[in-house]
């Protein structure tokens, strides 16, 4: 990894003037010319930034980077760091079998899966934000079989499963804490931070090869339940074993882990505590990205607002019938049909949505400044084409979704299905299996069938992490010490 020269924190960039390739820093306050390769009267003398021009928070951002490893150099890399990554997994299970009568059998199983990982480099290459990942899971099936006769049985199976993913930040090192480095710039969204003092993300362009200091999207969590109830009836008639049954499944996840913005894209971030992008191409800057950080002149700053927790739920219904037929002593046939009705996931609070081209109005598009590429304030609708699913926020949404009580976005509801996509009603799945015994040592088997499966809950597919449910603001060309107060241009997604 590559980290900035510690001397840069004091404004001393004289090292850029040594060697065959020199880089001169422009003084942004000077009207005179300065060439990055040849110098000039508008450059900082000796590449030293005066103390009164240094940004307190900009210098503190550089301080959050670790110091280079003494006597280590590998290409542009100047930092060698190590850390422990303990991981613990454990499975506990319990069984209980009850035979109350000669015709009844009850079986209960309980399985608990424990997973815990402490990874210092899961979110940040520098280990500043060590992540703790805890994922407990419990599954409990209850099976009841009743035998009516030697040729007829019925089985009822009830299963409940719970899964949680809890991603937190290890507080023991304190390296995630921005106050440790003196960073205190005001947030654009001061309320609703999961970890208010976590460091921001700091990224430079590729010309300096500095590895991004990533504050990450964590802490976050999600958890969900899965309930299945099934009944299977079996009857033997001659050489036929007939089975028929039904299944109902209710599944869901309370997703508080969704931030749908890319951290690698300038002007976007997945970090609630902000992201600064510094670029050598910043026309307001010094022509060197790290010097711009010391001066507090960012190219773009982005910040995510409070999370939008989405309680996803869905139902599925299935029915099947099959015949296992011993046609001859050597030929065995399996054939049947399964029918599935898969209902899409929806939010209990109707706080999920997407962009739908059918509701986009080109006449209401936001205008863009052709010179800067920034949106022109006051033009168009930033939510043009955005739709929310369902007929409106539910009554309970007002207790969980801040914008639900305002009524500001009620116009985004257009009576669309709560799960947005249509119910998959006609999922017929035929099955056929053939087994033929050639001799005592050889059996040929073949089969075919159609199988369907619904897509599981995903942050990107069943998305509540979009504007306006999840707020994000991007600002161009501002000051690190007050990102929201000195912006030359602003792009905002409310």
Sheet holding 201-204, edge to edge: 201-204, 275-278, 297-304, 472-479, 489-493
Query: What pLDDT, in 10s, does the model give residues 350-392?
Result: 999 888 999 999 999 989 888 877 778 888 998 999 999 999 9
Q: What is the pLDDT of residues 198-235, one digit of tens each?
A: 999 999 986 778 999 999 999 999 999 999 999 999 99
- CB neighbour list of residue 49: distance below 8 Å, 6 or more residues apart: 11, 12, 13, 25, 286, 291, 294, 295
How many Cβ atoms are within 10 Å of 26's Cβ, its own excluded? 21
CA distances from residue 283 to 201, 214, 241, 372, 492 in whole angstroms, order as listed: 22, 25, 79, 11, 22
The DSSP code sequence of 248-279 is EEEEEEEEE----S-TTSTT--S-TT-EEEE-
- Tell me if residue 349 falls in helix, strand or coil: coil
pLDDT beneath 70: ranges in the chain: 206, 260, 262, 264, 458-462, 486-494
The confidence score (pLDDT) of residue 494 equals 37
Is the Cβ–Cβ distance between 8 and 62 less than 8 Å? Answer: yes
**CA–CA separation, 28 and 11 (whole Å):** 14
Between CA 400 and CA 41 the distance in angstroms is 58
pLDDT at 135 (0 to 100)? 94
pLDDT value of residue 265: 72
Query: Can you give the pLDDT at residue 76?
Result: 86
Q: In what helix (H) or strand (E) does residue 60 lie, and over which residues does it extend?
A: helix 56-63
Q: Given this model, what pLDDT does residue 143 score?
A: 98
CB 379 within 8 A of CB 366: yes
The dihedral sign for the CA sequence 350, 355, 358, 361: positive
Spell out the residues 6+ positions from residue 155 whose beta carbon is closer than 8 angstroms to its own.
143, 144, 145, 146, 231, 232, 234
Alpha-helical (H) ranges within 195-345 are 289-295
Query: Rounded distance, CA 159 to CA 455, Å?
Result: 20
Q: How far is CA 414 from CA 349, 491, 493, in A?
A: 16, 27, 21
CA distance 284 to 486: 13
């Amino acid at each position: 990894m590559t980290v900035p020269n510690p001397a840069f924190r004091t404004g001393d960039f004289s090292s850029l003037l040594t060697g065959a390739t020199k880089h001169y820093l422009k003084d942004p306050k000077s009207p005179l010319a300065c060439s990055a390769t040849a110098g000039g009267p508008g450059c900082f003398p000796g590449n030293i930034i005066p103390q009164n021009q240094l940004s307190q928070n900009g210098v503190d951002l550089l301080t959050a980077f670790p110091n280079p490893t003494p006597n280590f150099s590998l290409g542009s890399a100047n930092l060698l760091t190590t850390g422990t990554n303990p991981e613990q997994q454990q499975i506990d299970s319990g069984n209980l079998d009850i035979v109350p009568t000669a015709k009844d059998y009850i079986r209960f199983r309980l399985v608990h899966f424990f997973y815990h990982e402490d990874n210092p480099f899961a979110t940040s290459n520098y280990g500043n934000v060590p992540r703790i990942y805890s994922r407990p899971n419990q599954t409990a099936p209850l099976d009841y079989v009743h035998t009516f006769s030697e040729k007829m049985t019925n089985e009822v199976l009830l299963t409940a499963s719970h899964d949680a993913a809890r991603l937190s930040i290890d507080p023991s090192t304190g390296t995630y804490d921005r106050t440790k480095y003196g960073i205190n710039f005001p947030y654009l969204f001061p309320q609703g931070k999961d970890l208010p003092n976590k460091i921001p993300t700091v990224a430079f362009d590729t010309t300096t090869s500095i590895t991004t200091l990533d504050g990450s999207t964590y802490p976050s969590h999600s958890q969900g339940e899965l309930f299945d109830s099934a009944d299977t009836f079996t009857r033997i008639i001659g050489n036929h074993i007939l089975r028929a049954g039904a299944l109902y499944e209710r599944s869901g996840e309370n997703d508080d882990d969704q931030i749908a913005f890319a951290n690698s894209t300038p002007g976007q971030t997945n970090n609630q505590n902000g992201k600064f992008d510094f670029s050598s191409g910043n026309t307001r800057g010094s022509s060197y990205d790290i010097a711009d950080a010391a001066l507090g002149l960012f190219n773009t700053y982005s910040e995510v607002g409070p999370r939008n927790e989405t309680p996803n739920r869905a139902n599925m219904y299935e029915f099947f019938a099959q015949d296992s037929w011993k046609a001859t002593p050597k030929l065995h046939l399996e054939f049947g049909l399964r029918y599935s009705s898969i209902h899409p996931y929806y939010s209990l609070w109707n706080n999920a949505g997407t962009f739908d081209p059918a509701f986009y109005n080109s006449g209401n598009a936001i205008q863009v400044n052709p010179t800067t590429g920034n949106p022109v304030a006051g033009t168009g609708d930033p939510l043009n084409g955005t739709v929310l699913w369902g007929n409106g926020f539910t009554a309970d949404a007002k207790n969980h979704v801040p914008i639900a009580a305002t009524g500001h976005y009620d116009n985004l509801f257009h009576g669309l299905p709560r799960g947005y996509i249509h119910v998959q009603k006609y999922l017929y799945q035929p099955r056929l299996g053939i087994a033929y015994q050639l001799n005592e040592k050889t059996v040929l088997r073949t089969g075919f069938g159609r199988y369907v499966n619904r897509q599981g809950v995903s942050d990107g597919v069943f998305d509540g992490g979009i504007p306006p449910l999840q707020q994000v603001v991007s600002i161009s060309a501002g000051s690190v010490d007050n990102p929201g107060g000195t912006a030359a241009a602003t792009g905002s997604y409310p």
